[in-house]
Amino acid sequence: NFFHQLNVFRMSLPTSISNTKNNHTLWMRRLQTSLYHCIPILSWMPRYNWDKFICDLIAGVTVGLTVIPQGLAYATLAGLEPQYGLYSAFVGCFVYVVFGSCKDITIGPTALMALMTYQQIIGRNVDFAILLCFLTGCAQLLMAVLHLGVLVDFISIPVTVGFTSATSVIIACSQLKGLLGLKFQANGFLDTVNKVWNHIPETRPWDATLGFTCIVVLLLLRKIKDIKLGPKAGKPNQRQRTIMKTLWLISTARNVLVVVVCSFIAYYLHPENEDPPFFILTGTVRSGLPPFGLPPFSTILGNQTYSFADMCSELGSSIILVPIIGVLGNVAIAKAFSTGDSIDATQELLTLGICNLLGSFASSFPVTGSFSRSAVNHASGVMTPFGGFYTGVVILLALGLLTPYFYFIPKASLAAVIICAVIFMIEYEVVKPMWRSSRKDLIPTFVTFLTCLVIAVEYGILIGVGINLLFLLYPSARPTVHVEKSTTHSGVEYLQVTPSNSLYFPAVDFIRTSVGKAAVKQGSSQLPVIVDCRFILGADFTAAKGIAALIEDFNKRKQPIYFYNPHPSVVSVFKGASLEEFVHFRTQDELEFILQSFSNNRQPAKGTDPEERSLLVEMKEFSPIESPFTGAADDLNRCKPRSTLKDGSAPLLEKSGPSPDIMKV
C-alpha cells in the first residue's frame, strides 16, 4: 500500500510542476500587463529611435521656451514670487515622461491653477500654496487608487464652458493692475473691477503703453503662423516652405520674443537709482534650484502659528475642488489630442497625483496640463512623452543661468502674456449651437459663469454640477405616465398605464398618485388597470413598498390592478420585499384570461375559489412558455397571433374599436 501511494505521488509530480509553471507564467503576464498600463514608458521606450529623438528634442525645447515666460507670469498671478512658477514647471515634465499616457500633454503651471491658488492664499504665505500642492497630489492619488476618475464625467460640457469662460474673464481682469501699472490689493472679480475703476487716474503711462503694445504684437504674431505661401492648387516650393516654417517658429515663440525685447528696452531705459523707474519691473528672482524637502506641515504667519490642521482648515474646500479641476483639465486635453484613442481617466489621475505630490517637495504650487503648451507640443511634432524631458532640462538651465536677467522683465509684459493666453479660453462660440440643440443646457452654463464671477470659482463649479444633477434626477423623480382606455378582442374594457422610466424612490409617490388619479377619473374606480412595465428596468426597496401601498389603495375600492411584462430584476426586488399582492403576467394570453375572468365577475387575485387562487399563484411563477393559460386562451380563440417587440417582449393586447384617448399625467 505504501509503495502504491508513493508511485501515485511520483506519477502526479510532473503534472503538478507543469500546473505550477503555467500559473507562474500567467501571473507574470498579468504583472507585465499591469506594469505596462501603469508605467507606459516601458511599452514605448524599447522602440525609441533617432528620428523620435530629433522630433522630441525640437518640441521639448520649443515648449521650454514657451513655459519660462508663462511660468513667471502665472506665479505672479498666483500671488507668489516669480521663481515659484519655474519651480512648478520642471517636476511635472520629468514625471509625465514615465507615467504619462498622451505624448502631447505638458504638465506645469496654468492660469486656472494659479487663479485657484491665489484665491486660497490671499493674505497668507507661500507655505499654504506648497501644502495645497501636496494635498492635491494625495487626493488625486487616492482617487486613482479608488478608481474615481468617473467623477470627472459628472462635470458636463455646459458647466465646463461656464467655468473656463468665467475664470478667463477673472484672470484677464486681474491683470489690468499690472498692465496699467496700478498698485492695490483686491479680493474677487467685482472688487478688482471696482478698484481698477477707482485707481484709473493713477495709471502709469509708460507701463500702459508697453502693455497694450505687447498685446497688439502678441495677437499679430499669433496670426502669422496661418500665412500660406505658394499656389492654391499646388504645393509650395522649398523657399516658401522655409519662410512658412520660420513664421511658425516666430509665432510659437512669441511670448519669449516679447518678454526678451521688453527686458532689453527696460534695461536701457532704466538708469540706476531712478525713482520711480520707467516700468514696474519683476525685480530680483532667486537663482538656482528650489530648496528640496518635505512640504511645510506648519507655518508662522504674523504672530500666529498654524498647525497642519489649521492650514487644512484655512484651505477648506479647495483640497477637494483643486484636484478634481486639475484632472478635468488634464483629461480634456488628453481627449483633444488623443486622435480617437480612449483615455484612461484613472491613469491621468495617477500621473497628475504623482506630479503634484513630488512637486510639493520642490516648492511647487498645484499644476495640471496646459492646453496652450500642449498645442505647441503637438504642432512641434512631438513623437513620445520624452519631449517633456527636454522641456524640463531647459527650465533647469534657466533656473541656473538666466535668473539674474529676469530682474528687468516689465510686469506689464507678463500681464500682456497672460491676457493673450486666456482671452481665447472664453468659449462664447458654443452658445449659439447650444441654443439650437438644447436650450436648457444654457442654464448651468450661465449660472456657473455668473456664480464664478460674483461669488467664487469653487462655488460656481459646485452649483453648476448641482444644477446638472437636478436635470438628470428630475426625469427619474417625475417620469412621464401615459394613460389610455382600451378594449380587448373579447370586449373587456381596461385602463393601460405606461410609466416611461425605471422605478426608484424619488418617483414612488408621483407614480402612486398618478396611477391612482387615472384609475379614479378615467377608470371610474371600476375598470381593471394594467401597468405596462416594459420601460421599468430597475426598482428599489422604497419602490416596492410604494407599489404595495398602491395595490392596497386599489384593494380598498375593490378595483383590480395587474402588472404586465415586468423585468426579472424588478420582480426579484418586489419578491424580496415580500410583496405578496403583486400580480404580474408575461404573455398576452395570460392577460386575456385574467381580464375575461374579471369580466365574468371572477377576480382571481381576490377570489374565494381555492383551486382558482392557487392556479393564479402558480401563474405568477411561470415563464411565458410554461403558462397554463396559453392553451386555454388559444382554444377559446380569444387572441390573434402577435409580433414580438425589438426588446424581446410582447406588446399589449391589440385594441379594437375607435382610437383610445391618450392622456399624459
C-alpha grid cell for residue 463? 452649483
Reply yes or no on whether the pLDDT at 615 is more than 50.
no
Angle between helices 205-224 and 411-422 (to 10 degrees): 40
- Higher pLDDT: 339 or 566? It is 566
pLDDT at 253: 81
CATH class of 478-664: alpha beta
- The model's pLDDT over 196-219, given as tens digits with 9 standing for 90+, comes to 999 999 999 999 999 999 999 999
Q: Containing H/E element for 532?
A: strand 529-532
> Residue 122 phi/psi, 5° resolution?
-60, 125
pLDDT at 197: 92
Alpha-carbon distances of 609 from 321, 579, 603, rounded to whole Å? 65, 22, 10
Please check whether residue 167 is in contact with residue 329, taking contact to mean a CB–CB distance below 8 angstroms: no
Please check whether residue 127 is in contact with residue 293, taking contact to mean a CB–CB distance below 8 angstroms: no
pLDDT at 310: 92
Please check whether residue 199 is in contact with residue 272, taking contact to mean a CB–CB distance below 8 angstroms: no
Mean pLDDT in the chain?
Answer: 80
| Cell 499656389, residue located | 231
**Type of residue found at 26:** L
C-alpha grid cell for residue 332? 480634456
Q: List the one residue out of 613, 617, 553 whose CA is nearest residue 585.
A: 617
DSSP string spanning 591-645?
A: HHHHHHHHHTT--TTT-S-HHHHHHHHHHHH--TTT-THHHHHHHTT--------
| Cell 500621473, residue located | 351
The domain locations on the chain are 2-38, 46-448, 478-664
Cα 109 from Cα 85, distance rounded (Å):
7
Cα 576 from Cα 579, distance rounded (Å):
8
Reply yes or no on whether the pLDDT at 449 is more than 50.
yes
Neighbours of 658 (CB within 10 A): 7
- The model's pLDDT over 309-334, given as tens digits with 9 standing for 90+, comes to 999 999 888 898 899 888 887 877 77
Q: List the one residue out of 295, 266, 287, 294 whose CA is nearest residue 278.
A: 266
Q: List the one residue out of 336, 318, 327 whose CA is nearest residue 367.
A: 327
- The model's pLDDT over 125-171, given as tens digits with 9 standing for 90+, comes to 999 999 999 999 999 999 888 888 777 777 788 888 888 888 889 88
Confidence grade of residue 581 (pLDDT, cut at 50, 70, 90): confident
Report the range of poorest mean pLDDT among 3-7, 375-379, 473-477, 513-517. Answer: 3-7
Winning range, highest mean pLDDT, from 109-123, 315-329, 442-456, 577-591:
442-456
* Model confidence pTM above 0.75: no
Reply yes or no on whether the pLDDT at 17 is more than 60.
no
3-state DSSP assignment of residue 573? helix
Q: Going by C-beta distance under 8 Å and a sequence separation of 6 or more, which residues neighbour residue 586? A: 565, 622, 623, 624, 627, 650
Query: How far out from the chain centre does Cα 103 lie?
Result: 21
Cα 352 from Cα 272, distance rounded (Å):
45
| Cell 495709471, residue located | 203
Instruction: For strands 368-369 and 481-487, give the pairing.
Output: unpaired
- Higher pLDDT: 33 or 417? It is 417
Query: Largest Cα–Cα distance of the chain, in whole Å?
Result: 111
C-alpha grid cell for residue 565? 411584462
pLDDT at 599: 75
Cα 524 from Cα 559, distance rounded (Å):
10
C-alpha grid cell for residue 588? 398576452
- Higher pLDDT: 187 or 532? It is 532
C-alpha grid cell for residue 425? 479660453
